[in-house]
Amino acid sequence: MVKKKADESTEELPAVEEILITEKIKVKDVADLPGVGEKIADKLKESGFLDMMSIAAASPKELSDAAEIGDATAAKIICAARETLDIGYETADKVMERREKVMRITTGSKNLDALLGGGIETGSTTEFHGGFGSSKTQVAHQIAVNVQLPPEKGGLSGTALFIDTEATFRPERIVQMAKAAGLDPKEALQNIIVARAYNSDHQFILAEKAGELIREKNIKLVIVDSVTAQFRTDFVGRGTLAERQQKLNRHLHTLQRLADVYNVAIYMTNQVMSRPDIMFGDPTAPIGGHIMGHFSTYRIYVRRSKGEIRIAKMIDSPNLPEGEAVFLITTDGLKDPEEKDLKKR
């Protein structure tokens, strides 16, 4: 891969091809598994199964599809991969130990951080859903900046991977927010790897291949904005609804696996779609339906209020109470409202 020089124009963010090339990293161990020859190993690697953990965590179906082998062979390979790793049952104190490794990224708003239990969490997936202009993409930009802050300022001294599916990533916005956060804007841009996903397959592969990149580039946050839009446009019509859900399901699985294996935070957005066909119940249900609900660790519904004011509501969390947080979207980024701002409501 040709490394971009630091002094190159900030407009020129890494191209998608470049990211894919970086991902072609030799993995010796996978080929050493019983039942895996060179050919199967290559196919596995091409499909993003680069290390033991990713194979151990796969389903036989996923693996057999990837390597074009039978389910029984796939199951044997998965068992062998699991044996090379120390996974199995564990006592709750070990789970607690892992929970203690969880880190948080500030959103810039104390109110919103409190709603999230201290910020966007690593090792988990956080989904923001809401209507157009509710601030889902603004939050994405803000945390891509904030993850770079040192821990004492609410960051993780890390970098971000931004999978942009709607072409709404704006480097100019990063510059504004970085300046306000006291970061060098040029460095802030260099610490965000942007991948524009052109269709749902492309989006799928970008997530599957993110593992090595995460390790190499000190990535602590993976953003998928939006997680569902490409799936919605690529699978139009009812006939392919099941296929869409299945594909989305696998994609969400991949994202969850990244959170588990690499202890990164996953932030994904989901546009709420008006459903005129629904006469009873909530006509603005998020797309992806029950599949999204099942997969995100934290689900937040965000909506516009007057002017800069936005209201976030915790919909679903394994350990946090439901509640609401009021915050502002300003030129400088996310902020807490003051008395005078709330009077406008």
Q: Which of 204, 132, 143 is nearest to 168 (CA)?
A: 132
Q: Which stretch binds ligand ADP (CB under 6 A): 34-42, 60-68, 251-259, 324-332?
A: 324-332
Q: Which of 237, 240, 227, 232 is nearest to 197 (CA)?
A: 227
Residues 165-224 binding ligand ADP (CB under 6 A) are 173, 176
Let me know how long the chain is.
345
Residues 167-186 binding Mg ion (CB under 5 A) are 168
| Contact pattern from residue 77 through residue 116 relative to ligand ADP, giving x for each residue in contact according to CB under 6 A and a dash for the rest | ----------------------------------------
Residues 139-168 binding Mg ion (CB under 5 A) are 168
Give the shortest CB-226-to-Mg ion separation in angstroms.
6
Total of residues contacting ligand ADP (CB under 6 A): 13
Q: Tell me which residue has tokens 């993995």.
A: 27
Q: With residue 222 as reference, give the H or E element that holds it.
A: strand 219-225
Q: Which stretch binds ligand ADP (CB under 6 A): 47-55, 131-139, 201-209, 249-257?
A: 131-139
Please give the backbone phi and psi of residue 251, each rounded to the nearest 5 degrees, phi first: -65, -45
Please give the backbone phi and psi of residue 292, each rounded to the nearest 5 degrees, phi first: -60, -45
Question: Does residue 274 bind ligand ADP (CB under 6 A)?
Answer: no
Total of residues contacting Mg ion (CB under 5 A): 3
Give the shortest CB-42-to-Mg ion separation in angstroms.
38
Exposure on the CB side of residue 326, measured as CA atoms within 13 A: 13
**What angle (nearest 5°) sits at the alpha carbon of residue 118, between those of residues 114 and 121?**
130
Question: Does residue 133 bind ligand ADP (CB under 6 A)?
Answer: yes
Cβ proximity of 74 and 64 under 8 Å: yes
What's the distance, Cα to Cα, between the start and end of the chain in Å?
Answer: 52
User: Between residues 133 and 151, which has the closer beta carbon with respect to ligand ADP?
Assistant: 133
Question: Does residue 203 bind Mg ion (CB under 5 A)?
Answer: no
Distance CA 315, CA 302 (A): 10
Question: Does residue 344 bind ligand ADP (CB under 6 A)?
Answer: no
Distance CA 218, CA 240 (A): 38
| Contact pattern from residue 137 through residue 156 relative to ligand ADP, giving x for each residue in contact according to CB under 6 A and a dash for the rest | xx------------------
Question: Does residue 305 bind ligand ADP (CB under 6 A)?
Answer: no
Question: Does residue 319 bind ligand ADP (CB under 6 A)?
Answer: no
User: Between residues 92 and 167, which has the closer beta carbon with respect to Mg ion?
Assistant: 167
Exposure on the CB side of residue 175, measured as CA atoms within 13 A: 6
**What angle (nearest 5°) sits at the alpha carbon of residue 345, between those of residues 301 and 175?**
65
Distance CA 266, CA 255 (A): 7
Which member of 60, 130, 154, 211 binds ligand ADP (CB under 6 A)?
A: 130
Residues 115-134 binding Mg ion (CB under 5 A) are none
Within 10 A of 200 (CB to CB), how many other CB atoms are there?
21
Give the shortest CB-322-to-ligand ADP separation in angstroms.
21
Which member of 64, 137, 200, 254 binds Mg ion (CB under 5 A)?
A: 137
Q: Which residues of the shown chain bind Mg ion in the complex (CB under 5 A)?
A: 136-137, 168
Question: What is the binding site for ligand ADP (CB under 6 A)?
Answer: 130, 132-138, 173, 176, 329-331
